Amino acid sequence: MVSSARRPTQEDVARRAGVSRGTVSLVLNDRRGRVLISAATREKVVAAARDLGYSPNPVAQMLARGRNRIIGFFTFEQTFPYGEEDFHHRYLVGVEREACSRDFDLLLFTRGGGEGPKAIYRSGMNTLRLADGCIFIGTDPDPEGLQRLLAEGYPFVLIGRTRIAPDALDTVVHDHAGGAAEAARHLLGLGHRAIAVALQSQDTEFIRERVEGCRRAVAEAGDARLSLIESCPGAAELKAALLSHGATALICADRRILPAVRALVAEGEVRVPDELSVALLATAGPEFGMPVSHVDLNRARLGRIAFERVSARIEGRLSGFARISVPCQFVAGATTGPAPRRLSGAAAGGRRSRG
Amino acid sequence: MVSSARRPTQEDVARRAGVSRGTVSLVLNDRRGRVLISAATREKVVAAARDLGYSPNPVAQMLARGRNRIIGFFTFEQTFPYGEEDFHHRYLVGVEREACSRDFDLLLFTRGGGEGPKAIYRSGMNTLRLADGCIFIGTDPDPEGLQRLLAEGYPFVLIGRTRIAPDALDTVVHDHAGGAAEAARHLLGLGHRAIAVALQSQDTEFIRERVEGCRRAVAEAGDARLSLIESCPGAAELKAALLSHGATALICADRRILPAVRALVAEGEVRVPDELSVALLATAGPEFGMPVSHVDLNRARLGRIAFERVSARIEGRLSGFARISVPCQFVAGATTGPAPRRLSGAAAGGRRSRG
DNA sequence: CTGAAAGCGCTTACAG
DNA sequence: CTGAAAGCGCTTACAG
């Protein structure tokens, strides 16, 4: 069924044009300046290529040239960041955009998903080399694999944290602490003096950084205090904790506590922002029914920056390594407002549940 | 700066293990059944590869094997379908998912964006061959390029319409007519007998198909009538048209008229669905403030189907070509309800503007 | 069971 | 200005 007429090769073109293969390559790649080719020869070659419907085999070109104008995108999670649902996807959007404008194709390493966390070297081998450089992303970054790439001099950048020393490779990370500090300062500016930070667990580094950022901002203010509400499973516990701390503002440092916060608000236990200001240290979805004051992670931007970095390295425009910390902007929404004169009791008749 | 220690090649491994290059290839690719290799030799080779940190060059493998386990994704629009904003992106999500589960990598042809509609053969050449097969998508599908690929026997599938004969290539398309008919039947089932279809222009084929689908369903009902409202620029004109047709239900065949419909609803000129039922023949966004009755285009599914098709062809599991029409499901939302007893005047005191 | 050799389709010095 | 040749790093019949 498939027309198995072999594709024409450079050889065929050369034969038809009556020149050598090298000449075909020279003409078709338009290597002016290097060698001069007579207009007559040039035309013969171009005509032969056209007649034959010739187009070069990119794989052969890649092998001969050693450069492909392809950037890889690799995620360490088991599955590829499919849809909008997956936040990894936002990075990819930025990477795509940059690839487009810099005239690179993009290779998504979708293979090998589903079989546990992906390793860079599958069964000891490496598919990566197809790409001139690669952007890695993920929360479990296979340090051995990265080290090996480093040793080989393979150009790559990691979006995320790793235990490898920051000056030994290129990474791009969010300035979570800075974003958190901004959020806290916004609340301080609104007059809040008792601020609570709620989170499910300090198990990940970026959450610890966010807490640290809040601490810093509150400490700078001097006259305010910060309290930590950790691992609160439900709305009732959260409310009790807020009451006991006398907090007028709540910073959510962790997406995982959002359900509790939403429940608290939805049940009408507390009026936002009149009784309680709420800020989120991550990109906000539409879940709250009103624009949420939040820190914009702008993942697409990180993707762009990562691309810029890896392409610079490929082109030899870079010498050392660096950790690039990208500022996170705070966006004031409708969930934060001036501090109430005094703690209004959060809700009349609230149950006095204790830890 | 970059460690320029040449990567070890098969040759290096062979030398170290004291065997020939062919043997290294055999061992490392674990070609059992073909040739038997002694356990001792095998171990020598594996050890040498490990010691040297050898991994095969995928480009060389591709050139030698002629197959890459890569599928391409090519869009004809100037720019790559960046973000969620772009509806092309939904297809990509399905393609990614399928690539993952079938163990293919995915090559996004992001190059060449921005310089007018993209052609398959850039300056007469063809980068495509890097992928074993390709999924094309777009509304302006470069028929010459596709024809040429067809002639070469290159495996691909087009998501979308083309003027090439449907049995000459693989395409995957929405059954717009079927989805529209379902929407119309839903309204007929609710008792509506005067239904209007609104659209900005019949300039694209899929819009004509949607209109046709509505026509078919209404004709089947026998006792109902369908009227067409075309190119209505504003809410006032739309309302006037609805009144003049005595329509109790409005089918939006074209996203471009949504602003007018939204304006009509937002201004309180008409109560939905009490006075007017509204159905949309495309995937609905959150713009209406309530769940919109609509036809679900399920683009990710089309992406999956396209992938399935092209991979089947690559593996030789296919003989002829086909146009695959994917059903579109109608989803009842809150914007459609029982037909009012009689036309309630759409709104009291409406201005009697005439076309 | 293993080695020597041809081949995949290009690019690029190097001679003429 | 052009040709012959080596090389990119692998795979795969084909002899032994």
Q: Is B268 on the interface with A (CB under 8 A)?
A: no
Out of A22-36, A132-146, A165-179, A297-311, pick the least confident.
Answer: A22-36
Contact B305, B173 (CB under 8 A): no
User: Is residue B84 pLDDT above 50, yes or no?
Assistant: no
C-alpha span between A176 and A292 (Å, rounded)? 18
Whether the CB of B20 is less than 7 Å away from nucleic strand C comes out as yes
Longest dimension (CA), chain A: 96
Bases in strand D with any atom closer than 7 Å to a protein CB:
1-14
A137, A116, A141, A111: which is closest to A126 by C-alpha? A111
Question: Token digits for B304?
Answer: 């999956």
pLDDT of residue A70: 92
CATH superfamily, domain at B176-292+333-354 = Response regulator (3.40.50.2300)
Cβ separation B59–A57 shorter than 8 A: no
A131 touches chain B (CB under 8 A): no
Total-model pTM: 0.84
More confident of the two residues A351 and B243: B243
**Segment (H or E) for A41:** helix A39-52
Q: Is the C-beta of residue B219 closer than 7 Å to nucleic acid chain C?
A: no
Q: How far is CA A60 from the centre of its chain?
A: 33
pLDDT of A123 higher than 50: no
**Would you call B313 exposed, middle or buried from its count of C-beta atoms within 10 A (0-12, 13-18, 19+)?**
buried
Contact A88, A81 (CB under 8 A): yes
**Domain limits of chain B?**
10-65, 70-169+301-331, 176-292+333-354
Cα angle: B344, vertex B346, B352; to 5 degrees? 115
Q: Per DSSP, what are the bridge partners of residue B324?
A: B172
| Contact indicator for A95, A101 with CB cutoff of 8 Å | no
Give A295→chain B minimum CA distance, Å.
20
Two domains, one topology: B10-65 and B176-292+333-354:
no
The residue with greater pLDDT, B330 or A347, is B330
Eight-state DSSP code of residue A125: B
Smallest Cα–C1' distance to nucleotide C2: which residue has it? B23
Note the pLDDT of residue A33.
Answer: 57
Cα B105 from Cα B310, distance rounded (Å): 14
Sheet of B277-280, strand order: B225-230, B194-199, B249-252, B277-280, B293-296, B329-331
Q: Is B58's CB within 8 Å of A112's CB? A: no
Q: Among B190, B210, B193, which residue's Cα sits nearest to residue B201? A: B210
Report the sign of the C-alpha dihedral through residues A290, A291, A295, A296, in that order. positive
Homologous superfamily, domain B10-65: lambda repressor-like DNA-binding domains (1.10.260.40)
Q: Using one digit for the tens of pLDDT, what is the confidence trace for B26-59?
A: 888 876 656 677 888 888 899 998 898 888 898 9
Q: What is the pLDDT of residue B123?
A: 45
Mean pLDDT over all residues of chain B? Answer: 85
Q: How many CB atoms lie within 10 A of CB B256?
A: 15
> pLDDT of A202-241, one tens digit each?
888 889 999 999 999 999 999 999 999 998 778 889 999 9
Instruction: Please provide the CATH number assigned to the domain covering A70-169+301-331.
Output: 3.40.50.2300
Chain B residues whose CB is inside 8 A of the A300 CB are 83
- Asked if A29 has any chain B CB less than 8 Å from its own CB, the reply is no
A67 touches strand C (CB under 7 A): no
List of chain B residues whose C-beta atoms are within 8 Å of the C-beta of residue A152: 3, 5, 7, 53
Assign B244 a pLDDT band (cuts: 50, 70, 90): very high
Alpha-carbon dihedral of residues A57, A63, A69, A72, nearest 10 degrees? Answer: 110
The answer to whether the CB atoms of B126 and A93 lie below 8 A apart is no
Question: From CA A345, how far away is CA B274, in angstroms rounded?
Answer: 43
Chain A contact set for B112 (CB, 8 A):
103
Q: Which phi-psi region, left, alpha or beta, contains residue A288 (left: φ > 0; alpha: ψ -120 to 50)?
A: alpha
Q: Are strands B171-174 and B156-159 parallel, antiparallel or unpaired?
A: parallel
Q: How far is B204 from chain A (nearest CA, A)?
A: 28
Helix (H) or strand (E) holding A174: strand A171-174
The reply to whether B63 Cβ lies less than 7 angstroms from strand D is yes
